Amino acid sequence: MIKVLLVDDHDLVRMGLGRLLADSDEIEVVGEADSGEEAIKKLKELRPHVVMMDANMPGIGGLEATRRMLRYDPDVKVIALTVHVEEPYPTQFINAGAMGYLTKGTDITEMVKAIQSVSRGKIYLAAEVAQQMAIGQFRKTDENPFSILSEREMQVMLMITRGEKVQDISEKLHLSPKTVNSYRYRLFEKLGVDNDVGLTHLALRYKVIEPQ
């Protein structure tokens, strides 16, 4: 039996996904979490084989949670399950150690297949995601300015665009406020914006974040 942990900040998403996966004879949903921080706690308590991870959540977010989970348990398999198809999300998740990447429009048959595949140590990418990653190899980086960001810069950017304060980001990422501000101004410089509002508008324009 493959033990699965569901991580998403929307109750209805977790509930619906749990009901669908419950029909599989090979999969057992052992727990749920609504943030990256809670997911790490549940990982330690429940020791799932596979974690279905949302990308954009309050707190440390899915990318950092994936990294921390794999540091704690290198054998756990993470599948990103998100609305984001475009780069840089897929590449950054795979670089962080995720074994799969699916969109929330994936049907349950493919989702079960992905869980089975990653549990056996095989990478599984939704077809549209694999296509976007392949196309991204040939695109110029200036088509999407966010593709030049490091994983940490991307993480700080997501937290800023959610309205989180520097002190809160500092505490959650275990960085000094000075370091967080350094990342913040580096983001402004790389992306050609002057403030947090400009950063948010640019992220919305390139669909790196979803309108709230």
Reply yes or no on whether the pLDDT at 201 is more than 80.
yes
98 and 192 in a single domain? The answer is: no
- 22 C-beta neighbours (distance < 10 Å), count: 10
| 169 and 75 share one domain | no
**Same domain assignment for residues 148 and 80:** no
Residue 169 sits in which domain range?
142-205
Residue 90 lies in a domain: yes
**Predicted confidence (pLDDT) per residue in 45-87, tens digit:** 999 999 999 988 888 889 899 999 999 999 999 999 988 877 7
Q: Are residues 64 and 151 in the same domain?
A: no
Query: Per residue in 86-117, pLDDT tens?
Result: 777 888 898 889 999 998 889 999 999 999 99
Residues 130 and 148 both lie in one domain: no
Quote the tokens at residue 116.
Answer: 């089975």
The confidence band for 135, taking pLDDT boundaries of 50, 70 and 90, is low
In this prediction, residue 81 carries a pLDDT of 92
Can you tell me the mean pLDDT for 202-209?
A: 83
Q: Is residue 48 part of a domain?
A: yes
Do 104 and 170 lie in a common domain? no
> Are residue 84 and residue 33 in the same domain, yes or no?
yes
163 shares its domain with 66? no
CA triple 127-19-132, angle to 5 deg: 15
pLDDT for residue 170: 92
Whether 125 is covered by a domain: the verdict is: yes
What does pTM read for this prediction?
A: 0.74
Which stretches within 34-119 are classed as H helix?
A: 36-46, 61-72, 89-95, 108-119
Task: Check whether residue 59 and residue 151 sit in a common domain.
Answer: no
